[in-house]
Amino acid sequence: MLARRMKLIDSSGIRKVFDLAAKLKDPINLSIGQPDFDIPDEIKEIGIQSIREGFNRYTVTQGIPELREAVREHYRRKYSVEFEDTLITSGVSGGLLLAFMALIEEGDEVLLPDPYFVMYKHLANLLGGKPVFVNTYPDFTLAPEKLEEKVTKRTKMLVINSPANPTGRAYSSEELRSIAEFARKHNLLVVTDEIYDHFIYDQTPDTFAKYYEKTLLLNGFSKSSAMTGWRLGYAAGPREIIESMKMLQQYSFVCAPSFAQKAGLAALDLDITQHIADYRSKRDLIYEGLKGYFDVEKPGGAFYIFPKAPGDDGVKFVEKAIANNLLIIPGNVFSERNTHFRISFAAPDETILRGIEVLQKLAKQF
């Protein structure tokens, strides 16, 4: 009865852990990839006021003009980047689906740095593409020579994510330039997922779009403004691609939530300096607590850390952690390898300290 394509994907391993969390009593939850702070009150008020004023109907498919222009102006001002067109999407996840639908044909190869955000692989498979994994272990560096080993005549595009989920790796400007040179050499489209661009701790924020013209940028408001449930994101890039994504949105999401689009105008340039400082401290707290016990890279951004599991078996280690009431995610959810596990430090410091205590105890047992 079901379409054959459904055999190509599996229920997200993250969702399985979420379901498990509901069954545990007071778990130490370091699995959820969403901010532990709430939407700022001023953003809430704009959303509430928009609802009260009756801004509750469909908007135009591409999003309200003032938000689309605000996105373009944001990148002009911050990075001196000029995009041909923009589209307001139902979160970055909605943007990814539209982009992959518009771009991938049967047999197209999609380069994915491994580890990768879980959606990339499954969307490529679902739409008849072939995910080609570029090994970035052990330090999660995406070197051009690694990309050269994987590119073929069937390669259609490269997907990058910086700062990255699950590793927290943030590419430097020099790394972004070298990736752009590779893409230009092979005339590839690059989809850059920059949803964590506010959470960069040790270097100046940058965007891949500054270095390469055939770039489709995806970003949104779920992480910087904690608007995870409001489902608001955007795509920016070549007009031909944006127009195709808009057409697909007409027959799928229709439009992004109307009241959230109004709030997005204020959220786009929201000052979250204090949250960034808080999350830098959380990053330092988890890294210092793990580095003497695990083989682990210090994340430069996002709110994840991706240690190597003792015994090189991420699933087995996560099972032991869950048995000790600690929720973390096995690395094979995000990778073709089962050697690591993901921790989200988007949690209160007390929860992080409880998690570190359990992890140190488990590390000593191996």
Given a cut of 50, the residues of the chain with pLDDT beneath it are: none
Task: Please enumerate in sequence order all residues whose Cβ is within 8 A of that of 237, keeping only pairs 6 or more positions apart, or say none.
Answer: 83, 84, 85, 209, 215, 216, 217
What are 348-363's pLDDT values in tens digits? 999 999 999 999 999 9
**DSSP helix/strand/coil, 59:** coil
Look up residue 337 and give its DSSP letter: -
Separation CA 291–CA 299 (nearest Å): 12
> Peptide bond preceding 257: is omega within 30 degrees of 0, i.e. cis?
no
Per DSSP, helices labelled H in the chain are: 13-21, 41-52, 65-79, 91-103, 118-126, 144-150, 173-186, 239-250, 258-267, 273-290, 314-323, 349-365
Q: How much is the CA Rg of the chain, to the nearest whole Å?
A: 20
Burial class (CB in 10 A: 0-12, 13-18, 19+), 105: exposed
User: What Å distances lie between residue 304 and 69, 95, 313, 343, 350, CA to CA?
Assistant: 32, 22, 19, 6, 17
Task: Please enumerate in sequence order all residues whose Cβ is within 8 A of that of 158, keeping only pairs 6 or more positions apart, or say none.
Answer: 110, 111, 147, 179, 182, 183, 188, 189, 190, 191
The CATH code of the domain at 57-267 is 3.40.640.10
Separation CA 76–CA 324 (nearest Å): 49
State residue 10's pLDDT score: 75
State residue 3's pLDDT score: 87
Average pLDDT, the chain: 95
Separation CA 65–CA 278 (nearest Å): 34
State residue 4's pLDDT score: 84
Q: What angle do CA 41, 220, 284 make, to 5 degrees?
A: 75
How many other CB atoms sit within 10 Å of the CB of residue 80? 8
| CATH class entry, domain 4-39+272-365 | alpha beta
Separation CA 280–CA 271 (nearest Å): 16
| Tokens standing for residue 112 | 């994915």
State residue 89's pLDDT score: 98
State residue 264's pLDDT score: 97
State residue 195's pLDDT score: 98
Separation CA 283–CA 290 (nearest Å): 11
What are 310-352's pLDDT values in tens digits? 999 999 999 999 999 999 999 999 999 999 999 999 999 999 9
List the domain boundaries for the chain.
Answer: 4-39+272-365, 57-267
Q: Which residue has tokens 């509430």?
A: 48
Q: What is the pTM assigned to this prediction?
A: 0.95
